[in-house]
Structure 1
Amino acid sequence: MGGIKRKEAPSGAVKSEKKQKTSQGKPTKFEKPAKRSHLDEAAENDGEDEESDEAQQKSQSNAKGGPKNFKVETTSAEAHAKQRQLAKERKAAKPHADEIQRSKQLWERLRRKSHVPKDERKELVTELFTIIEGRVRDFVFKHDSVRVIQCAIKYARPEQLKGIVKELQNDVRDLVESRYGKFLVAKMVVQGDREDKDLIVPQFYGHVKRLINHPEASWIVDDIYRQVATPQQKAMMLREWYGTEFALFGKQRPNASADQTTANLKKILEETPEKRKPVLSYLKQMINNLVQKKMTGFTMLHDAMLEYFLALDPGSEEHSDFLDILKGDIDADEEGGGGDLFRNLAFTQNGSRLLCLTIAYGSAKDRKLILRCFKDNIELMAFDNYAKMVLVTGLDVPDDTKTTSQIVLRELLGLQMEDSTQRFDRLEGMITNLNSRVPILYPMAGTQKWLIKDNEKALIDEVHKVRETTSKKAPEVRRQELISHVSAPLLEFVADRAQNLVQSSFACQPVTEILLECHDKDNVHRDAAKEAVAQLADGNPLEDGHIAKDPAASRMLKTLVSGGNFDPKTKTVKLSEPRLGFGKALYPIIKSNLVDWACSDSSFVVVALLESEDVPEKIKGEVKKALEKGKKKIQKAADGKEEKGEGKKKGNAGARILVVGLLLLF
């Protein structure tokens, strides 16, 4: 009872040997997300690491308390022999003792997969199923025999597995609460087909609240929710967080239609406004209970928290109280400063969205406090599909760009590393990764389609809508300030690694954006990067392996010569400021092979030299004269060759544009 101090145990009391409840399933501290979930690991656990029978018996014997009284004339060896004999007799007296003993012998042989020939393994599996068929329940609640059923599932045919699932269907809840049985449930859901999964998942309906707080069952139920359950099954499980009424509904109608099982809390409350207060109160209590217990790694919790947050009215007292609950997880007196809740939220889809909205709604102090929680995890977050958007929001919302640059950009760019080679190696790996390049390039490229996916853009638009009421600084001012922080390091990086970067199609676009948007004092680093990229065009563009043969590199050179990105709305090129002047750097390098460039796969680079407003008129005049001299060769490339069986000619599109232009000019 709360508030009553428990009495001290009597001094003569025997110390209890009862095992302490395990906290294996409680994600009490934030850890680096593993590539494999608990569910997958449990499904591969055949029980090899479990206690031996003898050790288990010793533990049980010791738990009974009191020293053993042996006769003086009995030797230690005789006493031990007698104990072993008594243990064998007790085991033999248990139901199905012979079958269990034989099945364990089969398991001992089968688990050494590499040592068992295929034909022998087939015979052993057949014998094993002969023993366990129809009596699976007699095996699964014992620590030493449950591993036999796990082994059977591992080698079972689909129809055999289906038989095991149907026999254990009504025992699933008891199994997930068992220290050993939970591994069996993991194997069934991982190796079973959709029909098997649909038999298992509904067994949790009506019991989610209890199971998510259970030390053994919590993590496996959450993994089944995240990895196995269908959207409708997820909704049914999540609805139980809204109150007892929803739990009873799932228990009574496990096969309800999709319209009846929505987990959209805002929609539910709009349809039944009279339930708003009790539902929100019940959900808040469940959320707060898990947060206080530091059990913040569950995907189901993150989904429930987002539903609760979206159902609240911004600026209301409930809204402010919920933000305080989230911030309450940060404790300066705790080792590491706390903040495990924020770090866990960042790595799930709905958790990431909730965190982005929390940053957007927070004050300047709140934003700084939240971002500092991620200080040692910035690189890890950048490579994650969901956590990267938290970093984007952390750059896109706060007005204090100096602080956010120190917390986020400094870690992303590795500016704390003294060795430039190591720093560039690390940055090269991040720039060529589709996830980690997003927060690095977002200040330059914004929401361009090649960088941001549609669902990510929807989240950014949602954050921007909130930002209009919570931030004071103009978006373009914030963007330019962020660019000024990253310009020198990124331009220096491009100048050093240009050769490596253009070999990756994923890096050519970043190189383009860095050269167009970044600029430093006196353009020292920008000019060096520009020259390094231009030098890559040296040589014959018609030879294999040349940069002109690579479509991604070709587009990069064309855009750089144009001096900016093409704006589809205005149908014009938006020139960078200050002007890049890449055409002036490129022309001397390709001058001797200009006609070949006009006939190559990168002929549009030459077209850009004639059309771009960023290219000096003097260079345009020299290009026209050189093309006029090679007009016949360009015309031949434009005409192309007749394709077999089609009766059509496929020529060089860029060369055709150049030929038409020459005809108009001369």
Structure 2
Amino acid sequence: MAKLTKEPKMARPPITEMDVDEPHGNQDSADEFSSEEEWEETEAASEDDESHVKQEDDVEDEDDDEAEDENENEDEDEDGEPEAKRARTAEEEEKLRQSRAEQKQAKQERKASKPNAPLIQEAKAIWETLRQKKLSARDRKSEMKALMDLVRGKVKDIIFKHDASRIIQCALKYGDQKQRDEIAGELKGHYAELSKSVYGRFIISKILSYCSADYRGLVVKDFYGKIRKIVRHKEAAIILEEAYVQSNGTERNKLLEEFYGPEFALFKNAGGRSIEELIAETPEKKPVIVKHLREVLNSVLEKGFTNIGHLTIVHRAILEYMTFAEEKQMVDLIELLKEHLVTILHTREGARVAQLCILHSGPKDRKLIIKSLKSFVVKIAKEQYGHAVLITIFECVDDTVLVDKAILSELMADGLTPGDFLTDLLMNRYASRVIMFLLSGRNRKIQPPYLIKELEEMDAVRARTSKKDDALRKEQLLKAVSPPLLKVLEERCDELVRDLTSGAVVVEAVFHAHGDKTTLLRNIAKLAGGAATDVAANGKSDEPFNAIKKLKADVAAAKQQEEGIDMNEHVMVGRATTYILKDIFAPRRKFGAPATAEKPESLEFSKLLAAELKPNVAYWLRRCAEDPKRTSGTAFVFVALLERGAPEARKTILDAVKKEKKLDEQLQKRVAVRVAEQAAEAKAAGGDADEKPTAGKRKRKTNKDKATPAPGAVQASSGIQTFLRVYSEMSKA
């Protein structure tokens, strides 16, 4: 029989926050025990992970190991080499078996001697069943009743251990409202203490998520007077953030006002006032409030926190300080903030703080801030609030070479296939604003009003901190961004013009980008060629089959479908694409604005578009006559070509209509019939709607509520009727 050697002792992995429970947030915790599935396989290892194991137990284990090592060393010769293996006798095997049995029994006895050990073991058995996702509602209710009978009155005694904490979390998740509130009631008065526990804080998170509003309010009240300490605690700060996010405006002010001084922490009777209200009521307290705010911020920023991105309450405190502090004090705080800005851009307050830091910083600090954004530029551009920070950089930073290398190079970078990253940005609601700001600046038709207002408020300070002329800065940035942007637009225009967001970028690029745009205009015009059924399928070519290209094309097609882009729809059919085409050669003007000379790009595009439409003008007009209501976009493209197109484009359309004998008369007759039919259908549909009104909904006001328009007005409202009228006037002229 071979010699029985000592088995190596398995290393016990450290307990991490992810092993304890779900990540911070108010998201559904249905899968918070996903990592706990390993518990079933390594039950012995997890049981040995108790946080309160006695030190003498470890010493005993070490002594046992040393004894075994000595026994092994006895088998070695003088040179350190092991002797030849020999078979153990039956007596030795029996002694070894008894020794191990005694060690196992001693271990079990030590565990059984711990407080609440039997209760936790019984609760674990119930928890193993309760946490199963496929458990029926009836069985879950029965298991919850058994668990509540077991832990009732003892919740406070067991929740500080990692395994028992998970059991209570599961009870809060799957219990009914009465059972959840019962658990929360047992912990009343201990919420702040629990929030500081590595395991207990997850219980408070579940109370905020699942328990009734009364207990959520009690959690917030238990934090009163302790906010300044809690915000500096690694674990408790996470729970404070959850409570802050779930609170209303008044409750948020009560939590935040403790940063303003000790008196606001002690007296809550008149709490719930914002810093603006406090300073307006007692202006003499402004220096004291600002001083206490700075003390809190210093303690948080200098404590060694690596990330304050998840603490919205801290973001608001920083913004309030930078709003009411003196400029010198603000500049001092920027030294502490400049490395944290990239982590707080996702919130409204955090983005505003970053804007103010960039505005008031000197050239060196601005350079450090811009470098800290490296590799995050694309993500920031897609942020609802973060994109405003990039726009502020374009407005304030004089070093356009640095901006080009650090910011624009990432925005214009290509993905796996040419233009992937930039194409995604152009179709993104927020990133497209960044690109269009580079093209057209503070355009109120494109940028949201709040952003324009913020930029205008910064002009006074920017005049002192930025020396370069605004026009020169914009020109240099536009020159840097134009070549890669035009290249992507030329290659992907068939996809971009079918989306309203990216289509608006195409229009702005045609008018403002630097460089030759002839290829771009020609590629867009080619999309209008042919009939509605002549759209080329994506990916068709004479090239040999390539599996990688095929997979990429399938992924692109799936993404286009998800975004609502139909690549098989002709650009003269889609309402969005007809708007884009018309905006290029006939830009929309304000109502009543005087007519101005058309731009060279518009005139050039109108000629290219008319040349592509020339073989199929009669086809498109007949299509419009068949359905005047749904083809208005197509018809108004022809109307715009006649009214605002280049003379060559106007002549092309007129000649194409005249080439078909009596086409205008045929169209008028067909339109009259279709308009009458559609009016009858609309009247019938309106009568049915009046007879059966939708209960519980307010009737939407439409033009149908007004007086019935005259027949001539109904006809004039359709695009094809407008075209026939304009064509008649021009053909007679």
Tell whether the structures are fold-level matches, with TM greater than 0.5. Answer: yes
Structure 2, unmatched stretches of 5+, are 1-13, 40-44, 68-94, 535-567, 625-630, 685-707
| Alpha carbons 2:230, 2:236 under 8 Å: kept | yes
Shift of residue 551, structure 1, vs aligned partner: 0.9
- Structure 1 residues 57 and 136: CA distance shift in structure 2, 3 A: closer
Indicate which of 289, 298, 311 corresponds to 2:299: 289
- Structure 1 residues 127 and 550: CA distance shift in structure 2, 3 A: same
Structure 1, unmatched stretches of 5+, are 1-20, 26-34, 313-317, 331-338
Partner-residue secondary structure (3-state), 2:54: helix
Percent identity of equivalent pairs: 26
Cα distance in 1 between the residues matched to 2:368 and 2:23: 31
- Structure 1 residues 574 and 206: CA distance shift in structure 2, 3 A: farther
Partner-residue secondary structure (3-state), 2:458: helix
**Residue number in structure 2 paired with 1:11:** none
Indicate which of 122, 125, 139 corresponds to 1:102: 122
**Residue number in structure 1 paired with 2:157:** 138
- Structure 1 residues 104 and 275: CA distance shift in structure 2, 3 A: same
Q: What do the CA deviations read for 1:133-180 (whole angstroms, capped 9, x no partner)?
A: 444333323433222211111111123222222332321111111111
Shift of residue 440, structure 1, vs aligned partner: 1.9
Shift of residue 286, structure 1, vs aligned partner: 1.2
**Residue number in structure 2 paired with 1:323:** 331
Partner-residue secondary structure (3-state), 1:213: coil
Partner-residue secondary structure (3-state), 2:430: coil
**Residue number in structure 1 paired with 2:280:** 270
**Residue number in structure 1 paired with 2:488:** 493
Cα distance in 1 between the residues matched to 2:446 and 2:23: 27
Shift of residue 217, structure 1, vs aligned partner: 1.1
Shift of residue 37, structure 1, vs aligned partner: 4.5
Letter in 2 for 1:139: I
Cα distance in 1 between the residues matched to 2:181 and 2:479: 62
Indicate which of 500, 506, 519 corresponds to 1:511: 506
Shift of residue 478, structure 1, vs aligned partner: 3.1
**Residue number in structure 1 paired with 2:265:** 247
Shift of residue 272, structure 1, vs aligned partner: 1.4
- Structure 1 residues 277 and 236: CA distance shift in structure 2, 3 A: same
Cα distance in 2 between the residues matched to 1:574 and 1:356: 39
| Alpha carbons 1:283, 1:308 under 8 Å: kept | yes
Cα distance in 2 between the residues matched to 1:517 and 1:485: 13
Q: TM-score, normalised by structure 1?
A: 0.81
- Structure 1 residues 574 and 345: CA distance shift in structure 2, 3 A: farther
Q: Does 1:653 align with 2:701?
A: no
| Alpha carbons 1:242, 1:282 under 8 Å: kept | yes
Partner-residue secondary structure (3-state), 2:474: helix
Indicate which of 626, 643, 651 corresponds to 1:611: 643
Partner-residue secondary structure (3-state), 1:215: coil
**Residue number in structure 2 paired with 1:179:** 198
After TM superposition, the structure 1 = structure 2 runs for residues 547-562 of structure 1, keeping only pairs within 5 Å, are 547-562=571-586
| Alpha carbons 1:638, 1:653 under 8 Å: kept | no
Cα distance in 2 between the residues matched to 1:660 and 1:329: 65
Letter in 2 for 1:136: V
Cα distance in 1 between the residues matched to 2:588 and 2:378: 29
| Alpha carbons 1:499, 1:536 under 8 Å: kept | yes
Cα distance in 2 between the residues matched to 1:473 and 1:68: 71
| Alpha carbons 2:382, 2:431 under 8 Å: kept | yes
Indicate which of 114, 120, 127 corresponds to 2:139: 120
Q: Does 1:378 align with 2:377?
A: yes
- Structure 1 residues 195 and 641: CA distance shift in structure 2, 3 A: farther
After TM superposition, the structure 1 = structure 2 runs for residues 14-163 of structure 1, keeping only pairs within 5 Å, are 37-40=24-27, 45-46=32-33, 48=36, 52-56=46-50, 59-62=53-56, 76-91=99-114, 94=115, 98-114=118-134, 116-163=135-182
Q: Does 1:165 align with 2:184?
A: yes
Cα distance in 2 between the residues matched to 1:368 and 1:513: 30
Q: Does 1:237 align with 2:255?
A: yes
* Stretch deviating more after TM superposition (195-204 or 55-64): 55-64
Which has the higher relative contact order, 1 or 2, with Cα contacts under 8 A spaced 6 or more apart? 1
After TM superposition, the structure 1 = structure 2 runs for residues 126-525 of structure 1, keeping only pairs within 5 Å, are 126-226=145-245, 228-250=246-268, 253=269, 260-263=271-274, 265-295=275-305, 296-297=308-309, 298-312=311-325, 318-328=326-336, 339=339, 341-414=340-413, 422-448=417-443, 451-464=446-459, 466-520=461-515, 523=516
Cα distance in 2 between the residues matched to 1:450 and 1:310: 29
| Alpha carbons 1:136, 1:167 under 8 Å: kept | yes
Considering only CA atoms, is the larger Rg found in Structure 1 or Structure 2? Answer: 2
**Residue number in structure 2 paired with 1:641:** 675
- Structure 1 residues 527 and 353: CA distance shift in structure 2, 3 A: same
Cα distance in 1 between the residues matched to 2:479 and 2:591: 27
**Residue number in structure 2 paired with 1:534:** 525
Indicate which of 570, 576, 591 corresponds to 2:614: 591
Q: What do the CA deviations read for 1:497-523 (whole angstroms, capped 9, x no partner)?
A: 112223333322222222222131xx1
Shift of residue 578, structure 1, vs aligned partner: 6.4
* Stretch deviating more after TM superposition (630-639 or 100-109): 630-639
- Structure 1 residues 303 and 580: CA distance shift in structure 2, 3 A: farther
- Structure 1 residues 396 and 329: CA distance shift in structure 2, 3 A: closer
- Structure 1 residues 306 and 397: CA distance shift in structure 2, 3 A: same
